[in-house]
Structure 1
Amino acid sequence: MKMQKDVVPASTSAPLQAQFVTITEEEAGQRIDNYLLRVCKGVPKSHVYRILRSGEVRVNKGRIDQLYRLVEGDVVRIPPIRLAEKPDNHVPAAEFAIIFEDSHLLVIDKPAGVAVHGGSGVSFGVIEQLRASRPDAKFLELVHRLDRETSGLLLLAKKRSALTSLHEQMRDGLTDKRYLTMVAGDWKNARQHIKLALHKYTTADGERRVTVSDEGGQPSHTIFSLLKKFDGYALLEAELKTGRTHQIRVHLSSSGFPIVGDDKYGDFALNKALQKATDTRGALKRMFLHAHQITFTHPESGKNMTLNAPLAAECERFLVSLGKPLN
């Protein structure tokens, strides 16, 4: 019988006891430190590493170090851990438009304005809401991430083997991710490669930002294809060859073609005008960036899969408001 893995909070009157947890097939392969950080939610990372160093955590009755990788059938002793009391941050259960689902994968169409996970001032995101709505799910993890204001395809793994397979495919460049975006400016080329090194940094108020920098920047490559050209705007398809933070946004902004509605790297005066547009068809209150297509190999069947998500309604309305394209 599988033991309850939640850490006993300080507010309970029951005496704290060590727990003995048997590792399942889906949990196997993780490092013991990462496993403990996941199951001991709310416990400071420093404390998790302290109980590892002290030998209070045991696997099959023996001491292990933090690099030990769990094997199916391992019995892990988790010592009594007392949490400081904190308010109940309730996560509302939510489901999202499902593009594809089977026993290994869940692919949803994420709306704009929803974070993929909690953190950085956001108490919860897509992954926490999906877990709340699927309490019986043994495993559910994000395969990749989307910016909060980006809509479209988001992959989640329902098995650790699927997560590992898809991460390997992405690392080896075997997946194909495409985005639709509207930029401001007179875009010329039918197909354009942008290769600019990107450097991540944090602002004084804790906000994550990215800038173009050859010194310390990571090599980044995006291919842009012109789909439709309008007076002052262009609809592009972006093909990611690398997957850096804010890559599409910074590559376009640094090239003089900010994404319409981008509140970090965009044309702020234009964004404000579009938000206040009296004609609702021409108004845009979000960033026009949508993950519309992804191609990968199914981790179990080996079948090549291409999934699509239709352009979000608010972006479609803005696109229609621009009238007939020039090209």
Structure 2
Amino acid sequence: MDTPSKVSYLVVGSEEAGQRLDNYLMKHLKGAPKSLIYRIVRSGEVRVNKGRADVTYRTVEGDQIRIPPIRLAEPSAKPSQAAAARGPALPILYEDEALLVIDKPAGVAVHGGSGVSFGVIEQLRALRPQAKFLELVHRLDRETSGILLVAKKRAALVAMHEMLRNDRGMDKRYLALVKGVFPDARRHVRFKLQKYVTADGERRVNVTPDGQDSHTVFNRKAAFADATLLECELKTGRTHQIRVHCAQSGFPILGDDKYGDFALNKALPRQGLKRMFLHAWRLTLNHPISGEPLKLEAPLPLELQTYMNSLESL
């Protein structure tokens, strides 16, 4: 049974400052769908310091946020905990008081929304109800596996966002198996990329003169008869950057359902590849609090390693 709420007011604390307004509301309005949160913000029913605000507004310590009367499901910890238990295992690569590093499985969204009710961050919060602060540092596409950073302290989140914003301080490497024989041992690829949304509401990226600068370095790791394993060294972090750079260079990632070779993709499951071959493999950074060098690595998933082992080496 749903229960109606009353008008309430929240004050943003120091550990909550810097969050997007929609993420802040989702954390406080347990069970509220993202579509409802977007609607009450855009209609002006949510007020920040007595004024209207956009969902992208970043909260500031001391902000007073008005929450309108809405209907939410009866609160219960059991459903979320059960959903977390049913979700895929989230192997932990590293953890301390400030940082949690997950080896995200392919096929799992990093957060709820766009038809997905339960992502990695929701699962972590359900499994760790005592945690005061858990926020995604960055995102991985749902189809991509590998290293995912989660901040356990506001100071750590701010420091790592600064590294990402300046495109320095983090060395991110992915492994991608692409169609064809890549001719160069090392190649710098640069395109201007622009995001857009399809009629079906899906995010896409194209190359356009008005887009944002993007830069990937491809290092050839292994060559096969009809495919190449590339180490993709990110110099910028645009949406779908590696996928678009590979496709635009004439070497689409195997299994990529947005930018890949669709005819080839249909044959891949019969050959043993049932997902996109893109994996966030290695990440090097200075610890956001201590400054100590931190080297993280997520091994290639078994299904990808098995498929690659089946290929004929050159």
TM-score, normalization: structure 2? 0.84
Q: Which residue of 1 aligns with 2:236?
A: 242
Q: Distance in 1 between matches of 2:197 and 2:21?
A: 30
Q: How does 1:1-327 map to 2 (within 5 A)?
A: 11=3, 16=6, 18=8, 24-28=13-17, 35=24, 38-40=27-29, 42=32, 44-45=37-38, 47-48=40-41, 49-52=44-47, 55=50, 69-70=60-61, 81-84=68-71, 90-91=79-80, 92-94=83-85, 95-172=89-166, 173-214=168-209, 216-277=210-271, 283-323=272-312, 325-326=313-314
After superposition, what is the alpha-carbon deviation per residue over 1:112-148, rounded to whole angstroms, capped at 9, x for unaligned?
Answer: 0111111112122111111111111111010000001
Give the letter for the 1:39 counterpart.
H
CA 1:77–1:262 in 2, change beyond 3 Å: closer, same or farther? closer
User: 1:223–1:241: 8 Å Cα contact kept in structure 2?
Assistant: yes
Gaps of 5+ in 1: 1-8, 58-65, 278-282
1:133–1:193: structure 2 CA closer, same or farther, 3 Å change rule? same
- Secondary structure of 1:164's counterpart equals helix
Q: What is the total number of aligned residue pairs between the two structures?
A: 296
User: Aligned equivalents of 2:205 and 2:26: distance in 1?
Assistant: 28
Task: Determine the C-alpha separation between the residues in 1 that align with 2:226 and 2:23.
Answer: 49
Partner letter of residue 84 of structure 1? R
Q: Matches of 1:227 and 1:134 in 2, distance apart?
A: 39
1:298 CA drift (Å)? 0.7
Contact 1:56 1:78 survives alignment (8 Å)? no
| Deviation per residue, 1:166-219 (Å, 9 max, x gap) | 0001112211100001011121000001101111111111111111111x2111
8 Å CA contact 1:110–1:151 kept in 2: the answer is yes
Give the drift of 1:55.
3.5
Equivalent pair of 1:194/1:222 in contact (CA under 8 Å)? yes
Contact 2:17–2:59 (CA under 8 A) maintained in structure 1: no
Q: Distance in 2 between matches of 1:317 and 1:33?
A: 41
What CA distance in whole angstroms lies between the structure 2 residues aligned with 1:232 and 1:33? 45
8 Å Cα contact 1:175/1:294 also seen in 2: yes
Identical aligned residues as a percent: 54
Contact 1:37 1:45 in 2 (8 A): no
Task: Call closer, same or farther: CA 1:185–1:53 in 2, change over 3 Å.
Answer: closer
Q: In structure 2, how many angstroms separate the alpha carbons of the residues matched to 1:248 and 1:156?
A: 22
- Aligned-partner Cα distance in 2 for 1:211–1:199: 6
Cα deviation code 1:269-302 (max 9, x no counterpart) = 211111123xxxxx10000000000111111111
Give the distance between the partners of 1:67 and 1:307, measured in 2 at CA.
30
Which amino acid counterpart does residue 182 of structure 1 have in structure 2? L
Gaps of 5+ in 2: none
* 1:16 CA drift (Å): 3.7
Checking the alignment, whether the CA contact within 8 Å between 2:47 and 2:65 is kept in structure 1 is: no
Q: 1:285 to 1:31 in 2, by over 3 A?
A: closer
Note if contact 2:18-2:59 (Cα within 8 Å) is conserved in structure 1: no
Change (3 A) 1:35 1:190: same
Q: Is the deviation greater in 47-56 or in 237-246?
A: 47-56
Q: Which amino acid aligns with 1:70?
A: E
Residues 259/87 of structure 1: CA separation in 2 closer, same or farther (3 Å cut): farther
Higher Cα Rg: structure 1 or 2? 1
> Which secondary structure state, in structure 2, belongs to the residue aligned with residue 145 of structure 1?
coil
Is this contact kept in 1: 2:3–2:73, CA < 8 A? no
Distance in 2 (CA, whole Å) between partners of 1:32 and 1:250 is 30
Counterpart of 2:174 in structure 1: which amino acid?
Answer: Y
| Residue in 2 that maps onto 1:63 | none
Q: Is the 8 A contact 2:108 2:120 kept in 1?
A: yes
Distance between the aligned counterparts of 1:98 and 1:20, measured in 2? 33
Distance of aligned partners of 1:270 and 1:28 in 2 relative to their CA distance in 1, 3 Å threshold: closer
TM-score (norm 1): 0.81
